[in-house]
């Protein structure tokens, strides 16, 4: 009898404790189906609405992710309703999401095809600006838009949406997520690859976590429209977007050494703190070349970076960022950049620092004078 009591006592305590010990953190994904309600998005033949296509894809993505017990999916909308761009970001921030994924369809006056994925940043060219301008125009359908979006002028390429300090910290993760999505949609689905891009999307500007906007395909292309509006096409897009999110989850949690192909991205970095092991001399400008990032820490030795030296390291959230060189003048930095690209770092770019903080290249040049 005494033995039985001991066994029962052990079961009462051991089972709950073991369950607690095995509990894994929940990875929160916010899925944002673009447009909705009185905002149809792109309209083709007066019967096909972007808002309907992307909602179906988003719900399918969510269903696939919800099959994983350690993933929680939050939707900005699950029905045909208009959610303010400001509110979409607020939903993600309130839920402390790990990633924000906005799903859209593209449009053009020609029969151009392909998929592209955006992260927040400067409108690097006129084409990127026009895409962002089209997506941002929904604000005019919102109540009180003049007050909410007073800082934005979507008709001006010079109206740059700046990154806050918190958003700068997540830029690397956003780029990595975008690269994984592009790799999945173009490498597996064989869609035409239009690359990873940067532009000033208001919906991405509202979030404080790794965030991307996917332009799945062109609704204006006869071939792509057939695929986008078919059950098969929507299922394939959903499957591959979900797979990309799961791959990113493994990457950010350090469970995978996955590195997306580097030829899919053409972006420019923005403000970030100075790497700790190479502090900037007070009162001086320093230029470094960012060459790579990884969730795993690598020893800052030349053999890990194709012979490049010196290498400095910075931890950006859960990602380690690696820099090559330390130049005092921009002209010297251009030489470093050329060396890095010759070694195979095709997406390397120059980063400028002043008084321990990341600054724009333009500002660094002014201080340099």
The domain that holds 334 is classified in CATH as 3.30.70.1070
Tokens of 351: 């980063």
Out of 230, 264, 298, a domain closes at: 264
Residue 23, pLDDT score: 54
Nearest to 209 by CA among 241, 270, 166: 166
Q: What pLDDT does residue 84 have?
A: 85
**244: Cα separation from own chain's centroid:** 12
Residue 70 backbone phi and psi in degrees, to 5: -95, 15
Token pair in block for residue 294: 């990884």
**Would residue 191 be called left, alpha or beta, if left means φ above 0 and alpha means ψ between -120 and 50 degrees?**
beta
- The answer to whether residues 195 and 216 touch, using CB atoms and an 8 Å cutoff, is no
pLDDT for res 254: 72
Claim to verify: residue 341 and residue 255 sit in the same structural domain: no
Instruction: Indicate if 82 and 174 belong to the same structural domain.
Output: yes
User: Would you say 92 and 86 are in contact if contact means Cβ atoms under 8 Å apart?
Assistant: no
Q: What is the pLDDT of residue 134?
A: 54
Task: Kindly state whether residue 198 falls inside one of the protein's structural domains.
Answer: yes
Provide the residue range defining the domain that includes 292.
285-368
pLDDT of residue 191: 94
Question: How many domains is the chain built from?
Answer: 2
Query: What pLDDT tens digit does each residue of the chain (369 aa) get?
Result: 555 555 555 555 444 444 444 456 899 999 999 999 999 999 999 999 999 999 999 999 999 999 999 999 999 999 999 998 788 988 999 999 999 999 999 999 999 999 999 988 754 444 544 554 455 544 445 555 454 444 555 455 444 444 444 566 688 889 899 999 999 999 999 999 999 888 777 778 778 899 999 999 999 999 999 999 999 999 999 999 999 999 999 988 874 445 555 444 444 333 333 333 333 333 578 899 988 877 778 888 887 888 888 999 888 766 788 899 999 888 898 999 889 888 888 778 888 888 878 887 878 888 887
Residue 14 lies in a domain: no
Backbone angles phi, psi at 132, to 5 degrees: -65, -40
* Residue 80: other Cβ atoms inside 10 A: 15
Verify that 87 and 200 share a domain, yes or no. yes
Is 364:287 a contact under the CB 8 Å cutoff?
Answer: yes
Structural contact between residues 272 and 358, judged by C-beta atoms closer than 8 angstroms: yes
The DSSP bridge partners found for residue 358 are 353
- Same-domain status, 294 and 364: yes
Those residues with Cβ within 8 angstroms of residue 356's Cβ, 6 or more apart along the chain or in another chain: 273, 274, 279, 280
- Count of beta carbons in the 10 Å neighbourhood of residue 333: 23
Q: Could you give the CA distance from residue 353 to residue 351 in angstroms, rounded to a whole number? A: 7
Query: Could you tell me the pTM of the whole model?
Result: 0.63
pLDDT of residue 243: 96
Domain boundary among 264, 296, 318: 264
Residues 300 and 362 in one domain: yes
**Residue 55 confidence (pLDDT):** 98
Which of 229, 264, 299 is the C-terminal boundary of a domain?
A: 264
């Amino acid at each position: 009898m005494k033995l039985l009591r001991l066994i029962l006592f052990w079961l009462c305590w051991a089972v709950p404790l073991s369950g607690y010990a095995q509990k894994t953190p929940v990875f929160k994904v916010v899925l944002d189906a673009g447009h909705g309600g009185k905002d149809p998005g792109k309209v083709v033949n007066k019967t096909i609405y972007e808002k309907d296509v992307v909602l179906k894809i988003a719900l399918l993505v969510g269903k696939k992710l919800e099959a994983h017990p350690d993933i929680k999916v939050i939707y900005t909308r699950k029905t045909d309703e208009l959610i303010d761009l400001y509110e979409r970001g607020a939903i993600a921030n309130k839920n402390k999401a790990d990633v924000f994924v906005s799903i859209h369809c593209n449009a053009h006056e020609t029969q151009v095809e392909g998929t592209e994925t955006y992260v927040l940043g400067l409108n690097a060219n006129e084409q990127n600006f026009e895409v962002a301008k089209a997506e941002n125009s929904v604000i005019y359908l919102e109540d009180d838009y003049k007050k909410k979006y007073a800082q934005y002028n979507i008709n001006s390429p010079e109206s740059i949406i700046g990154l806050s300090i918190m958003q700068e910290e997540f830029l690397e993760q956003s780029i990595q997520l975008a690269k994984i999505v592009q790799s999945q949609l173009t490498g597996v689905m064989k869609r035409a690859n239009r690359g990873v891009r940067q532009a000033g999307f208001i919906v991405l500007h509202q979030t404080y976590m790794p965030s991307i906007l996917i332009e799945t395909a062109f609704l204006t292309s006869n071939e792509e429209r057939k695929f986008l509006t078919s059950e098969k096409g929507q299922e394939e897009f959903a499957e591959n977007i979900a797979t990309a999110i799961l791959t990113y989850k493994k990457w950010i949690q350090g469970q995978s050494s996955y590195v997306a192909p580097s030829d899919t991205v053409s972006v420019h970095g923005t403000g970030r703190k100075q790497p700790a092991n190479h502090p900037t001399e007070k009162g001086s400008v320093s230029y470094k070349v960012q060459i790579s990032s990884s969730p795993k820490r690598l020893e800052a030795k030349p053999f890990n970076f194709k012979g490049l030296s010196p290498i400095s390291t910075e931890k950006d959230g859960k990602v380690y960022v690696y820099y090559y060189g330390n130049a005092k003048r921009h002209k010297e930095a251009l030489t470093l950049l050329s060396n890095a690209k010759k070694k195979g770092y095709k997406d390397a770019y120059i980063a400028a620092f002043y008084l321990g903080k990341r600054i724009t290249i333009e500002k660094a040049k002014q201080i340099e004078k």
